[in-house]
């Protein structure tokens, strides 16, 4: 099972997935939204699920990363 977790305080962080095979294709989904490899993804507060699919071998490899964005502190 290829599952990972991360926690962030930021609304946006870079998502970079690097395939070791130069002929492989990497597709990153943040929920239903495709994220271009190496660019920033926006996170809603709470859990956000990234699905990273690496194609080019048999079979495809799918990684799941759950990124939890902590609630922003309120200024009072």
* Structure confidence by residue, pLDDT tens digits, 39-75: 888 888 999 999 999 998 778 999 999 999 998 776 6
Q: Which residues, listed in sequence order, are joined to residue 67 by a DSSP beta bridge?
A: 6, 48
The pTM of the full predicted model, rounded to 2 decimals, is: 0.79
Strand partners, 39: 15
- Rounded to whole angstroms, how far apart are CA atoms 54 and 12? 23
More confident residue, 75 or 18: 18
Residue 13 and residue 48 in contact, taking contact as beta carbons nearer than 8 Å: no
Cα(19)–Cα(21) distance, integer angstroms: 5
């Amino acid at each position: 099972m290829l599952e990972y977790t991360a926690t962030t305080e930021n609304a946006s962080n870079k998502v970079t997935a690097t395939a070791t095979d130069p002929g492989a294709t990497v597709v990153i989904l943040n929920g239903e939204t495709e994220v271009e490899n190496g660019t920033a993804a926006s996170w809603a507060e709470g859990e956000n699920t990234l699905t990273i699919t690496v194609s080019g071998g048999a079979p495809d490899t799918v990684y799941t990363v759950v990124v939890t964005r902590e609630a922003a502190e309120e200024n009072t």
